[in-house]
Structure 1
């Protein structure tokens, strides 16, 4: 049994959500991870703990509090409604905000680890030769930390694709608007459409395995190049 138009719409929505989430997290998470890797402030543990919180916090808990924040009189929903005239709950924008928060550690932590392992002597030498900070980051940091960036991109994208609890709480199950693949799969199981559920579940399983195999292969190849 082939996927329905609704399944294809859920696939396209999921790819959009995962791509935008990963891109925004790279733009915002990279400078934040750099700061976490180099700051020596004692209260650094507070933002580190907040970043790691989605790793152990049940997704429905985060989704519940986001749902309250997205309400018309909520801390996020009120200013958003004032600016746009529309709400955040049960919208793609709301899903995007929730996905950014929930996938934050999967992007920030690999980048922070890569930045901490970077040889600072190289940056100091480049700066002494007149290179700007932006030039140092573009020509030294990014090439040397490309494995960390690849890991962050892969984990951030894959984790967003597999989200369920958060997106269900704040987005519901609106086909073409907030119904992503994980919700569509749950919908098929609820209606006993196991043949269609197999298509989605098998596709997600194959996607996850392929992505991890690619990531580990590239990491092993890079390690071999370093040893040589």
Structure 2
């Protein structure tokens, strides 16, 4: 792809920009709040959210306003939820797989996955990205008994205001490449859903210009809840 040639040509500048971003980036903490519990009434549903800092809720101060809290709020009127969050800032798909393998806590109905940004930032190619995703998906199916896996697309990093140009554009192109490869990989598997949040804007980012804000977490949860309502119709 053309962006790879541009990346090579601009490698020294991109490296400097990467160091600059690490130096000036606002370090936001993971929000407080419970990461497992039961809530609601209706059809029994076991929910697991796994992944990186976005899954963990970085960008808001409490889990109530993160993906988990919004999703529980939107589903609890129709489902008897058993929910758990297993997520950590800075983790890529391979690290998430390894943690889940060690931390198996029973079977689930639906898994929501938020991974990819840290894979994009790591030194891997598209084939290695797909290997990581295959291993994770296999684990979620075989070890957790997941009936439906909602894989959130890597967000459009070309809209992350923290990142200077041309680093922002180059990472955005890499996100698109990874997303397209995974879409082709999972297209024929009815257990997998590739959830698109590409419509986000800079107004939906937290103060660090990198993570979701409360508005985006609510929108994300609405998109996930819609898929769950379609695939696990409440009584």
Q: TM-score, normalised by structure 2?
A: 0.26
Larger-Rg structure: 1
Question: RCO (CA 8 Å, sep 6+): is it higher in 1 or 2?
Answer: 1
Higher helix share: 1
- Give me the TM-score of the superposition, normalised by structure 1: 0.26
